[in-house]
């Protein structure tokens, strides 16, 4: 039983108990159950939105992976499918010498050697 079903059960229970809503106790219980019902509906809506966003992020992640594969090439020993550009976690290794990121590191090292 989810939270919206539980609040519906509480509403039915209140109706079955014939609680007098004109008395202070009845007003309080009615207000509490109505508040719980509103909260349950908001939580259910948030769950739906979160599920939608999770699916959307998965789609964007998949599309981004396709774009990376299509537009960036890789020559390193990583799992990339392409030839020139490396966009992976293995770029810092020495065997990834043709990678643009490694080439940038080499250029930085040459600049520091020239300055000395």
Predicted structure pTM score:
0.50
Please give the chain's pLDDT, 116 residues, in tens: 889 999 999 999 998 998 888 999 999 999 999 999 999 999 999 999 999 999 999 999 999 988 888 877 655 556 555 444 454 554 554 445 555 555 554 455 555 555 55
Domain boundaries, the chain: 1-71, 76-116
Per-residue pLDDT, 113: 54
For residue range 52-75, what is the model confidence (pLDDT) as tens digits?
A: 999 999 999 999 988 888 877 655
Nearest Cα neighbor of 69 from 84, 54, 90 is 84
94, two tokens? 């020495």
Cα 97 to Cα 87: distance, rounded to the nearest angstrom: 13
């Amino acid at each position: 039983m989810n939270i919206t079903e539980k609040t519906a059960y509480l509403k039915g229970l209140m109706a079955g108990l014939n609680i007098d809503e004109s008395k202070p106790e009845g007003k309080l219980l009615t207000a509490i159950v109505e508040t719980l019902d509103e909260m349950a509906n908001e939580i259910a809506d948030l769950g739906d939105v979160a599920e939608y966003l999770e699916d959307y992020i998965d789609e964007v992640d998949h599309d981004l992976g396709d774009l990376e594969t299509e537009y960036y090439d890789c020559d390193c020993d990583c799992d990339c499918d392409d030839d020139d550009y490396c966009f992976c976690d293995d770029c810092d290794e020495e065997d990834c010498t043709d990678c643009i990121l490694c080439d940038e590191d080499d250029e930085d090292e040459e600049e520091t050697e020239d300055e000395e």
